Structure 1
Amino acid sequence: MSSRRDFLQKISLSAAVIPFLSAKSVAATKDDKPYDGPILRVAILGLGSYGTRVADAMQSCKKAKLVGAISGTPSKLTAWQSKYGIPEKNCYNYETYDAIKNNPDIDAVYIITPNALHKEAAMRVAKAGKHVISEKPMSINAKDAQEMVDACKKAGVKLLVGYRMHYEPKTLEVIRMRNAGEFGKVLFFQGLSGFIIGDPTQWRLNKALSGGGAMMDIGIYSVNGARYMIGEEPIWVTAQEVKTNPEKFKEGIDETITFQLGFPGGAVASCLSTYSLNNLDKFFLDGDKGFAEMQPSTGYGPIQGHTHKGELTQPHITHQTLQMDGMSELIFEGIQPVVPVDGEEAVKDLKIIDAIFEAIKTGKKVALKL
């Protein structure tokens, strides 16, 4: 897990409403006015490197608060209790966390575990009556992802996904410019997502846990980015795979994939996902009246970029802080982000990834219906 995270760091209820905590002075806003409103109280499931990153970022949230932890490692639970001031009664292991059903202090659980474990955890959290936040990809295929969506709807809880870029200011400015017609007719998108992965024994190179290789990790940024940058849903995909190290990247673990997406307005996306090349974190959007280029485009920040009108100067704010505050607004106030962060959004990405794998297997263009 640390390889991708380290790399990115360096280059850059629905029907049932769960009780919430009101705090008069959790944090000050930019104009120094204290926030007085609902606080989304979150337990993190999976206390690895990214779970720690989210926990650290939440210390700056105004509308979300870390209140619980779930882990299979007792020493991690003890450390988090001390570091983040989490009460022992809000700490669980993987066998006992169904008991959150009876814990009114927890509103939502953020699942940050290997991809293949997201579904089971989401089902259990939903059954316990708590909102579900899942890291991306939401599951290992679209079928499982849809079952997660259905289970959360049945339980009357929200299902949200850790699409932090959907809250990132420079990204939102490019989307605003596109919506305003400042690029003219969008014709082309390029997404380059990759890095050299390290430890060959890590779970990301274990198909049973990851569901795939680079595409299920870094490649999803270009899949999702093509959609929100162009502003349409693709209607077809073609793809090719290259594997130079079959010892490290075994059967079912993709090393490098190039893929192309076609959009109903005529735009084409050309993207690359790899575990074998560094310095790949770039988006380029081109229209007949202008362009936007971002590099780094999806790293932890600061994101950098420019358009035909000049440099993007929006301030850098920790992505996960913005994300968690935004998710609190969505759950309690119904405020939707410009680009969705719900389970249905994640199902679309996984339908595209499923089709990419099919295109590689068959060598044919695969039609998409999202």
Structure 2
Amino acid sequence: MSTIDSQVEQWLRRSFSRKTFIQTAGRGLAAGALGSVVGACSAGQQALRGAGAVPNLPPESPPAQIPPQVDEPIRLETWKSDADRQSPPTPSPLPPDQRVGYALVGLGHLTLEELLPAFGECARSKPVALVSGSPEKMQRVAQQYGIKPENCYNYETYDQLKDNPEVQAIYIVLPNGMHAEYTIRGAEAGKHILCEKPMANTPEECEAMIAACQRAQRLLMVAYRIQYEATNRLVRDLVRNQHYGKVKYIEAFNGQSSANPDHWRHKIALAGGGALPDIGLYCLNTIRFLLGEEPTEVFAYQYSTPGDPLFREVEEMVSWQMRFPSGLVTNSATHYQAHESRRYRVMAERGWMNMDAAFAYQGQQLAISYAEGQQERTEEVQLPVKNQFAAEIDHFSTCILEGKRPYTPGEEGLQDHRIMAAIYQSAREGRPVALPHIEGKDRFRGEDPKAL
């Protein structure tokens, strides 16, 4: 057992039996066990409303009835010794007729390359309908995934989803500027909404989306997959529990190279901005997730190469700092013309945690360094891999089935947009911009999912 594994296990033993730890680690969630102690909850909603920090929350949807034992793992005999990594629980998917049915809106790269394949790893979710403006492509995709022809819609017939009982939830995978319209229409059709990030183009659009789902008494969740990914969750719990002392500094970068000026990401009406809302948002949201705090001030720079057709409407680069109530200052940057790099480093009093491929769809690489006597030890931490998209989709399905508020509800997306608006303002005006002081931890999140 590595030193970091030993340290994590020693911490867990103070609150858990070894059996509980092994079961949790077997699921790839040493972080999950830690998180069950930390427990990010949305307590004090009435106090929040009184303080004006969070919009009114939608009423909880009535839970579905799941037969007992259906989704419990089948227990098998023990065969491995304690010297080896334990096997995870057996897969325990719900029967197909009890899974939440999703309509996917938009058949672009993300849907075809990531989301539809991820449903194959879901235990509580299934794709049952498609919405696209390309009939030929939609027909091929429907055939590939066994979706009925009558469950294929275009953007004009989208509202007819209200008459389809097979669809309980809609996954919005459209350009950012279309999120608000199709979320509102989807809620009015009586469906729960899972919306890709960024939530919209502006804070005002986010507020309208939240209000529409409240009126319809339907759940709204933003697809912040990082908050459901095991390795990032482990870093969060090490940070929250000060495993290496207090965090003193965080730096984060997310960059990639663009090439097509006609892509919707380079059109301000569809994208709402450039590198910041598309990929810089990962730095912003992940730092908030790790700390549980909300920034009180931002200071930013923005730049675009003059004459580059890629950046006629949207920015190429944004660099910004955030100050937090604890006194911590973080530094982030995002770039649309840099070789792909997605990483962050957390510097604490007695060690640091470095995550490469932090925001990627897979391949997270966590290294931790700390002193041990006269030695400086640097270790790599590997957790069993689980599809990030399957984890977030199944979490939303669990919320629908059990009548719970999602961990990343619309209010979480709204807060990011308010902070991004302040970042843009700071870059324009060349000065720090203050944000409202928000007390407490995880004030915009729902109950932390303990098992993913």
Does TM-score exceed 0.5, indicating one fold? yes
Q: What is the CA distance between 1:17 and its match in structure 2?
A: 4.0
Q: Indicate which of 353, 359, 362 corresponds to 1:292.
A: 353
Runs of 4+ residues deviating >6 angstroms: 18-29
Q: Indicate which of 271, 286, 289 corresponds to 2:332.
A: 271
Compare 34-43 and 76-85 and name the one that shifted more: 34-43
**Which residue is 1:315 aligned to?**
384
**Which residue is 1:54 aligned to?**
115
Structure 1 residues 199 and 21, CA, compared in 2 at 3 Å: closer, same or farther? farther
SS in 2 for 1:215: helix
Structure 1 residues 39 and 214, CA, compared in 2 at 3 Å: closer, same or farther? same
Structure 2 CA distance, aligned partners of 1:241 and 1:331? 40
Structure 1 residues 20 and 145, CA, compared in 2 at 3 Å: closer, same or farther? farther
Structure 2 CA distance, aligned partners of 1:292 and 1:232? 19
Structure 2 CA distance, aligned partners of 1:259 and 1:178? 22
**Which residue is 2:77 aligned to?**
none
**Which residue is 2:425 aligned to?**
358
**Which residue is 2:212 aligned to?**
151
SS in 1 for 2:110: helix
Structure 1 residues 34 and 318, CA, compared in 2 at 3 Å: closer, same or farther? closer
**Which residue is 1:40 aligned to?**
100
State percent identity of aligned pairs: 31
State the Cα deviation string for residues 307-366 of structure 1 (Å, max 9, x = none). 2363221111111111111111222225667xx311000001111111111111111111
**Which residue is 1:31 aligned to?**
89
Q: What is the CA distance between 1:35 and its match in structure 2?
A: 3.2
Task: Structure 1: state its 5+ residue gaps.
Answer: 1-12
Task: Structure 2: state its 5+ residue gaps.
Answer: 1-57, 75-87, 371-378, 439-452
SS in 1 for 2:171: strand
**Which residue is 1:100 aligned to?**
161
Tell me which amino acid in the other structure corresponds to 1:72.
G
Contact 1:183 / 1:286 at 8 angstroms: preserved in 2? Answer: no
Structure 2 CA distance, aligned partners of 1:213 and 1:365? 21
Q: What is the CA distance between 1:246 and its match in structure 2?
A: 3.4
Q: TM-score when scaled to structure 2? A: 0.74
Q: What is the CA distance between 1:21 and its match in structure 2?
A: 9.3
Structure 2 CA distance, aligned partners of 1:18 and 1:70? 27
Q: What is the CA distance between 1:230 and its match in structure 2?
A: 2.5
State the Cα deviation string for residues 175-219 of structure 1 (Å, max 9, x = none). 111122213211111110111111111110011111111112111
**Which residue is 1:331 aligned to?**
400
**Which residue is 1:79 aligned to?**
140
Tell me which amino acid in the other structure corresponds to 1:227.
R
Tell me which amino acid in the other structure corresponds to 1:270.
N
State the Cα deviation string for residues 22-75 of structure 1 (Å, max 9, x = none). 899899885336434742211100011101110111111111111110001101
SS in 1 for 2:315: coil
Q: What is the CA distance between 1:165 and its match in structure 2?
A: 0.7
Contact 2:259 / 2:310 at 8 angstroms: preserved in 1? Answer: no
Q: Kindly report which structure 2 residues correspond to 1:1-370, keeping only aligned pairs within 5 A, or say none.
A: 14-17=59-62, 30-32=88-90, 34-36=92-94, 38-52=98-112, 53-308=114-369, 310-334=379-403, 340-369=407-436
Structure 1 residues 245 and 195, CA, compared in 2 at 3 Å: closer, same or farther? farther
Q: TM-score when scaled to structure 1? A: 0.90
Structure 1 residues 85 and 219, CA, compared in 2 at 3 Å: closer, same or farther? same
SS in 2 for 1:344: helix
* Residues paired across the two proteins, number: 356
Contact 1:165 / 1:298 at 8 angstroms: preserved in 2? Answer: yes
